[in-house]
Amino acid sequence: MLAGNDPASEIYVRTKIKACADLGIFSEKIAPPETATTEELVAMVEKLNARPDIDGILVQMPLPKHVDSRRVLEAVAADKDADGFHPINVGYLVSGRPAPRSCTPAGIIEMLKFYQIPMAGQHAVVLGRSDIVGKPMALMLLHQNATVTICHSRTVNLPEMCRQADILVAAIGRPAFVTANYIKPGATVVDVGINRITDVAEGLRLGRTEEAVRKGKAVVGDVHPLDMARVAGAYSPVPGGVGPLTIAMLMSNTVELAELHQNAG
């Protein structure tokens, strides 16, 4: 469900639809107008909940400002929650029970496993406390036996706290905010941010080309890309690092929900 006209959201939804097509998963885009009310969106979600041919529902965020996003997200049935945001599924994550997991942090765990980055016993610092990334990321790292610290905009001595991290996950939503003095030499840095750069001078300072900036294709994460490459022992680039994994985990959640429904039937 894509409500409104957010350009970034439209790109993300196109990417998700393409991934479904590549994997042979049926997808259906529902695009209510920008003026749709909370009640109208909830009613649309409830119709999808009732459809036996739909295994997973995704409400693309952000919703228009006048909409109560929490009400719409919580209207999605827990057993059709492809994003892993429903309070029941968050509760299952806390208790370590199987359920759809929030896609970005789940993808990060898979990436760390794939590259054999040790998590058990390591100090992981999560920079950001959102319900979508920061909090579930901390819980998933805890389930991997990491020692976890959550930092945020109100954290005192933030660079010093981040410098303690063996694994630093940056999800604070500020372009190139994390510079060299936040990174312990040799640390693994996972950059969750996606920030579009429109100023040519800033783009050049961050290692992006003038052409990329002018075409609207200059993107940086929450970590300064040149500092990250210089100081970190391993890092995920932006673009191309965490983003594709988020899509992959969305597909994985959808397949698992479909199997759950088949087994229940």
Residue type, 178: V
| Catalytic (active site) residue 262 | no
Helix (H) or strand (E) holding 16: helix 7-23
215 counts as catalytic: no
Q: Is 83 a catalytic residue?
A: yes
Cα atoms in the 13 Å half-sphere on the side-chain side of 242: 25
Q: Which of 55, 80, 81, 83 is catalytic?
A: 83
Per the residue annotation, which of 60, 184, 191, 222 is the catalytic one?
Answer: 60
Question: Following DSSP, what letter does each residue of 116-153 receive, concatenated?
Answer: T---TT-EEEEE---TTTHHHHHHHHHHTT-EEEEE-T
Query: Distance from CA of residue 2 to its chain's centroid?
Result: 17
In whole angstroms, give the CA distance from residue 135 to residue 102. Answer: 10
Residue 89 structure tokens: 């599924």
Active site residues: 16, 60, 83
